[in-house]
Amino acid sequence: MKRLRLPYRVQIPLGLALAVLITALFVTAVGARLSARDARAQTLATLDRAMVLLVAQARPLLAADDTWRVFSLLRDTVALLPGADRLRARVAVLDAQGRVFAASNPAVLETGRQLLGETLHGQPLLTAEEIQQRQRIQQADGGITLVDPISSEDGQLLGFVLMDVDAPVFAPNWAQLARPALIGMGLAVVLLIPAGWWLGRRMTAPVAGLARFIHAMEPAAAITAQPVPHTDDPELQRIARALHSLQSAWEERRRAEQRALSAERLAAVGRMTAAVAHEINNPLAGLLTAIRTLRLHGDAPQARERALDVIEHGLMQIRTTVAALLPQARVQDRPLEPSDFDDVLTLAQPAAQAQGVSLSARSEVESALRVPSAPVRQAMLNMLLNAIKAAGPGGRVAVQLLADAEQVRFCVTNSGSALDPQRFAATLAQEGGDDPRGFGIWVCQQIANHHRGGFTLDPDYRDGTRLVFWLPNREID
């Protein structure tokens, strides 16, 4: 399956827009991650400050053995801790042996329960003798347990403050953290994607101009109709120079083809000169005889009438031949007419008679002819003369002119040796307009290509060779 590839002038703006979007998403993800890390650090800092406060305020209460006031202190302090509203944070004051003296949540941390030296949440706690400074114990699920000793002013150990915070307290609130980042990303997308699209379109504008110029070069007549677009980009300037060189070369080739077509048109007339001269010479002999008859017997009405009939018939024959020959020597910017087909047959008839070739013709024109007359006449005459030559003495040549609303087709068959497709293609490839043995076939192909038509060999025809020349039946460009 063929992959869909967008044009270059769309890929760059779209790529810039996608780059902006991906960058915004990446920055949002990194920003949210950094915000989550900062939020955890802020939570730990809050817990540390609460520990300092509890140690300072619990010292005199613990020395006075005032359980109720210690409980009130813990209850008021734990309400300020993150997660306390969800019962995710607990605070307790321990005695010097590590037993619970008072707790913010006695249902979880029972009074008198031994904690130090035991296991809490699967993590072993140090004994009271081993704790000399604040301990931070990382739980397996991400929770935190803090233990800080309480000492009197003379350095005597009075007890400990224990703070236990569950892991969900440290879990980042991604929705809350991502909201500012998403707002920033949205603003960046709204502002930068149109800017990136505009910049990309501006960058690809010279490429689009060159692409339009190349697309306009498809019709042969339009390749020199417009100048190569100017661009300031060095690489695109190289492409523009190459297109300019191609434009010049194509124009030179077009002029050479026009010269070749004109030369072949006159050459075709030249190849018929002998036969046409014979067609003119025969009535001239009759005219001279009629003139002598008039001089000798001009007074006799019957002889004079017969001589005038001979003169009129001879002049009409000469006029028909010249009328058929004259359009072949000049380019006429007019549509083809059925009479042009008759003219071509008239011009080819002497060559067929000289070769002893039987020539038959059929015309089926069902629609108005809108193809140019001069090149089509030239193609028909070239094909017909080549067919007469290929048929040989005693051969047969049949021609057809078929026209409908879509196409105008001219078909020529001859009874000579069959021309296979390989030889036909090789002949066209080798001639290139330089081989006089088949120059007419090459010209027919060039005319067909120039007018968006075709010139083909019918491979299914078995009784000789059948060539088909066709053009789209449309208005002259």
User: Using H for helix, E for strand and C for coil, what is the string for 377-396?
Assistant: HHHHHHHHHHHHHHHCCCCE
Between 407 and 205, residue with greater pLDDT: 407
pLDDT of 398 > 90? The answer is: yes
Q: What is the pLDDT of residues 228-255, one digit of tens each?
A: 566 665 656 666 676 677 767 767 776 7
Mean per-residue pLDDT for 11-33? 72
Domain at 334-477: CATH architecture: 2-Layer Sandwich (3.30)
pLDDT tier at 266 (50, 70, 90 boundaries)? low
Q: In what order do the strands lie in the sheet with 358-365?
A: 358-365, 396-403, 407-414, 465-472, 454-457
Rounded to whole angstroms, the Cα distance separating 425 from 281 reads: 40
In the structure encoding, which two tokens stand for residue 340, read together? Answer: 């042009």
Mean per-residue pLDDT for 2-25? 68
Between 3 and 299, residue with greater pLDDT: 299
Per-domain residue ranges for the chain? Answer: 8-174, 334-477
Q: What is the pLDDT of residues 132-149, one digit of tens each?
A: 898 988 888 888 899 999
Using CA atoms in the order 198, 199, 203, 208, what is the torsion angle rounded to 10 degrees?
A: -10
Q: Is 96 helix (H, G, I), strand (E, B) or coil?
A: coil
Q: Is 146 helix (H, G, I), strand (E, B) or coil?
A: strand
Instruction: Specify the range with the lowest mean pLDDT, choosing from 225-234, 289-298, 436-445.
Output: 225-234
Rounded to whole angstroms, the Cα distance separating 454 from 444 reads: 9
Query: What CATH number should be reported for the domain whose range is 8-174?
Result: 3.30.450.20
Whose CA is closest to 118, among 98, 101, 96, 132?
A: 98
This prediction's pTM: 0.42
Between 99 and 170, residue with greater pLDDT: 99
Taking residue 296's Cβ as centre, other Cβ atoms within 10 Å add up to 11
Mean per-residue pLDDT for 154-166? 90
Instruction: Specify the range with the lowest mean pLDDT, choosing from 48-57, 172-181, 222-231, 309-318.
Output: 222-231
Strands 358-365 and 396-403, bridge-based pairing: parallel
Provide the residue count of the chain: 477
- H helix intervals, 272-419: 273-297, 301-325, 338-355, 373-391
Q: What is the pLDDT of residues 8-19, one digit of tens each?
A: 556 666 776 677
pLDDT of 391 > 80? The answer is: yes
On whether the CB atoms of residues 167 and 141 are closer than 8 A, the answer is yes
In the structure encoding, which two tokens stand for residue 461, read together? Answer: 């025809």
Query: At which residue do the structure tokens 């523009």 appear?
Result: 240
Residue 128 has phi, psi (to 5 degrees) of -60, -35
pLDDT of 437 > 50? The answer is: no
Rounded to whole angstroms, the Cα distance separating 463 from 391 reads: 11
Rounded to whole angstroms, the Cα distance separating 274 from 413 reads: 24
* CA end-to-end span of the chain: 39
Rounded to whole angstroms, the Cα distance separating 237 from 230 reads: 8
One DSSP character per residue, 145-208 reads EEEEEEE-TTS-EEEEEEEEE-GGGTS--HHHHHHHHHHHHHHHHHHHHHHHHHHHHHHHHHHH
pLDDT of 2 reads 53
